[in-house]
Amino acid sequence: MDKLGCLRRVAIFSLLDDAALSRLAEISTDFDARAGQTLIEADAPGSGMFVLETGTVLVEAHERTAELGPGEYFGERALLTDDGRRTARVRAKTDVRCLAISREDFADLLRAEPKLAVEILEGVATQHTGHLQT
């Protein structure tokens, strides 16, 4: 699947038009991880978020575990808060392919397109995925 198609499936990006999704796709990079690899460690500073293209990850936080699959995301808190501290550990359950969006690139995009910030925050406020924050 192409980047645009992957991002289009993500709940927090659902209000974005094609032009905004294209800009988001331009700043994302492909990232692969093997089964068992840790992608995010709890309490570590967050450098960005991930959108799952293929595979499954386990999100472990506060004695709870959630499983995420294609079209789902994690690490978004690093983009949306000042301290950007990780609140969960995320490990690849299977081999995974993700889109990675760095905090710096995302901040640059929001400065250039402030309307995008409002749309993403609306998406975050209305989502009902129920997964653990990272």
| Cβ neighbours of residue 113 closer than 8 Å, sequence gap 6 or more | 20, 23
Q: Residue 133 has what pLDDT?
A: 53
**What average pLDDT does the structure give for the chain?**
84
130 residue type, one letter: G
Question: What's the token pair of residue 10?
Answer: 């993500």
Q: Confirm if 109 and 24 have CB atoms less than 8 A apart.
A: yes
pLDDT at 129 over 70: no
**pTM (2 decimals)?**
0.82
Torsion on CA atoms 8, 13, 19, 20, rounded to nearest 10: -150
Is 3-126 a domain of CATH 2.60.120.10? yes
Over range 79-95, report the average pLDDT.
84
For residue 119, what pLDDT is reported?
72
Burial class (CB in 10 A: 0-12, 13-18, 19+), 49: buried
Q: Quick check: 28 and 51 in contact, CB under 8 A?
A: yes
Report the C-alpha gap between 48 and 75 in whole angstroms: 6
Q: Which two tokens stand for residue 123?
A: 């998406």
